[in-house]
Amino acid sequence: MRVIFVGPPGSGKGTQATLLCQRFGLAHISTGDVLRESVHLRTPGGLLAEPYLSTGRLVPDDVVNALVADLFRAPSRPESFVMDGYPRTLAQAVAFDEMLHEHGLDVTGVLLFQLGDELIVRRLSGRWICPNATCNATYHVYNRPPRVPGRCDLCGTALLQREDDKEETIRRRLEVYHENTAGLIDHYRAQKLVREVSADGTIEDVYARVVKVLDKLKPRR
Ligand code: AMP
């Protein structure tokens, strides 16, 4: 099974991809994770990507396409996978189609996660983390508030908001998402690959929908 997850930031597609990959033994390919790791390691690609990540803009297509092509060139090339966050533009989708074709692979389906912008802003901008490396507890102003506002329950450290969880950054990421997704979705609709999934509800609710949709696609390999 080779599936592409498309959805706005904060729609939970990363969580769903993790669950699905654990359950069905698929490779979980998240370009966001790969890019964050290269920023953390300060590789040349990471240094190039950093200003885009911190401001919620897309890293240039050729950089991300090259990164994905490298993953598929490796001896451990994934045969069955969930793409989480790639392709994200029409140009990336075209490049990805070509690359898969060269490897004799095709896409089984594209799952489009749907969730309204205001719900996303509320979900993401509420996240705060404890920056103490030995603690790293996470909080949410609505769902899991700390006992003392702004302080970690476990170690008392002042909580921080990740740069890409700030409301301004989230709204920019949503704008970027809407601008780029239309062409991408049209591209895959033309191939009759798109299936829509509501991303509202609990993780289990959404997971059940995902599995149901995938069951109706081609048999799993
Ligand atoms: P994500 O964790 O998927 O939301 O990605 C975090 C950030 O990484 C995005 O806001 C972009 O700056 C960058 N990024 C991840 N995937 C891509 C992609 N396919 N194309 C361009 N930029 C990407």
List, in order, residues 6 or more apart from 65 with CB less than 8 Å away. Answer: 91, 92, 95, 96, 99
User: What phi and psi, each to the nearest 5 degrees, are found at residue 31?
Assistant: -65, -30
List, in order, residues 6 or more apart from 195 with CB less than 8 Å away. Answer: 109, 110, 111, 112, 213, 216, 217
Concatenated DSSP letters of 153-172: TTT-PBPB--GGGSHHHHHH
Kindly tell me if the per-residue pLDDT of 220 is higher than 50.
Answer: no
User: Ligand 1 centre from 9 Cα, in Å?
Assistant: 9
Residue reference for tokens 């994934």? 78
Q: Look at residue 221 in the predicted model and tell me its pLDDT.
A: 44
Q: Look at residue 190 in the predicted model and tell me its pLDDT.
A: 96
DSSP 8-state symbol, 28: E
Name the residue of 29, 34, 35 to mutate for ligand 1: max ligand atoms within 8 A of Cβ. 35
Q: Which helix (H) or strand (E) holds 139?
A: strand 138-140
List, in order, residues 6 or more apart from 31 with CB less than 8 Å away. Answer: 64, 67, 68, 84, 85, 86, 88
Closest to 90 (Cα-Cα) out of 183, 10, 3: 183
The per-residue pLDDT for range 1-48, each reduced to its tens digit, is: 999 999 998 899 999 999 999 999 999 999 999 899 989 999 888 899
User: Ligand 1 centre from 53 Cα, in Å?
Assistant: 7
User: What phi and psi, each to the nearest 5 degrees, are found at residue 74?
Assistant: -65, 150
The per-residue pLDDT for range 162-205, each reduced to its tens digit, is: 887 889 989 988 998 999 999 999 999 999 999 999 999 989 99
The per-residue pLDDT for range 119-160, each reduced to its tens digit, is: 999 988 998 999 999 998 999 988 889 999 999 999 999 999
User: From the CB of residue 156, how many other CB atoms can be counted at a distance below 10 Å?
Assistant: 12
Kindly tell me if the per-residue pLDDT of 218 is higher than 90.
Answer: no
Q: Look at residue 90 in the predicted model and tell me its pLDDT.
A: 96
Ligand 1 neighbourhood includes 35 CB (under 6 angstroms): yes
Q: What percent of the chain is modeled with pLDDT above 70?
A: 98
This prediction's pTM: 0.86
User: From the CB of residue 215, how many other CB atoms can be counted at a distance below 10 Å?
Assistant: 9
Closest to 209 (Cα-Cα) out of 85, 83, 113, 117: 113
